[in-house]
């Protein structure tokens, strides 16, 4: 299990978060698609209309299935992780989402740690 060190705080990364990090490292295209679809829909929704990250993940699954001919294993538990990555990258969009508490919150609070593994350059 990995660990986070920030400002003399040292705590273990929860197993579900570590699973997400491992999945993300092997599947960078998932976040790239998530990010691009999210940015596209933000520009098209009416003010005050909620945006569902779960809907975006389903679109990512569909795109990958069309491309690869099979459904890529994409755990529903990772939706919260991808949402927090998006908010970390685009904090000015945070108010567009209803973000509930998650095991990802403490980990993604530390932006320096996120930047170590977030994504490859686009």
% of the chain residues with pLDDT over 70: 69
- SS3 label, residue 118: coil
Per-residue pLDDT for 114 more than 60? no
Q: Is residue 87, in this structure, part of any structural domain at all? A: yes
Q: Is residue 7, in this structure, part of any structural domain at all? A: no
Q: Is residue 1, in this structure, part of any structural domain at all? A: no
For the chain, strand residue ranges (E) read 3-6, 9-12
Beta bridge partners of 4: 11
Domain that holds residue 20: 13-116
Q: Is 95 exposed, middle or buried (0-12, 13-18, 19+ CB in 10 A)?
A: exposed
Q: Is residue 8, in this structure, part of any structural domain at all? A: no
Measure Cα distances from 49 to 21, 38, 46, 90 in Å: 30, 14, 5, 18
Q: Is residue 51, in this structure, part of any structural domain at all? A: yes
Q: How many domains does the chain have?
A: 1
Per-residue pLDDT for 12 more than 80? no
- Residue 16 has a pLDDT of 85
Q: Which two tokens stand for residue 99?
A: 């973000």
Per-residue pLDDT for 50 more than 80? no
Taking the model in full, what pTM does it have? Answer: 0.74
The whole-chain average pLDDT of the chain stands at 75
Q: Is residue 109, in this structure, part of any structural domain at all? A: yes
- Residue 1 has a pLDDT of 46
Q: Is residue 122, in this structure, part of any structural domain at all? A: no
Per-residue pLDDT for 25 more than 60? yes
Q: Is residue 4, in this structure, part of any structural domain at all? A: no
């Amino acid at each position: 299990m990995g660990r986070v060190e920030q400002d003399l705080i040292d705590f273990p990364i929860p197993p579900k978060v570590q699973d997400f990090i491992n999945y993300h490292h092997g599947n960078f295209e998932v976040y790239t698609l998530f990010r691009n679809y999210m940015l596209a829909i933000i520009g098209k929704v009416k003010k005050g209309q909620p945006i569902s990250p779960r809907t975006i993940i389903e679109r990512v699954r569909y795109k990958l299935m069309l491309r690869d001919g099979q459904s890529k294993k994409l755990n529903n538990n990772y939706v919260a992780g991808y949402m927090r990555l998006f908010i970390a990258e685009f904090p000015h969009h945070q108010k567009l989402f209803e973000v509930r508490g998650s095991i990802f919150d403490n980990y993604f609070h530390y932006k320096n740690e996120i930047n170590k593994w977030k994504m490859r350059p686009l």
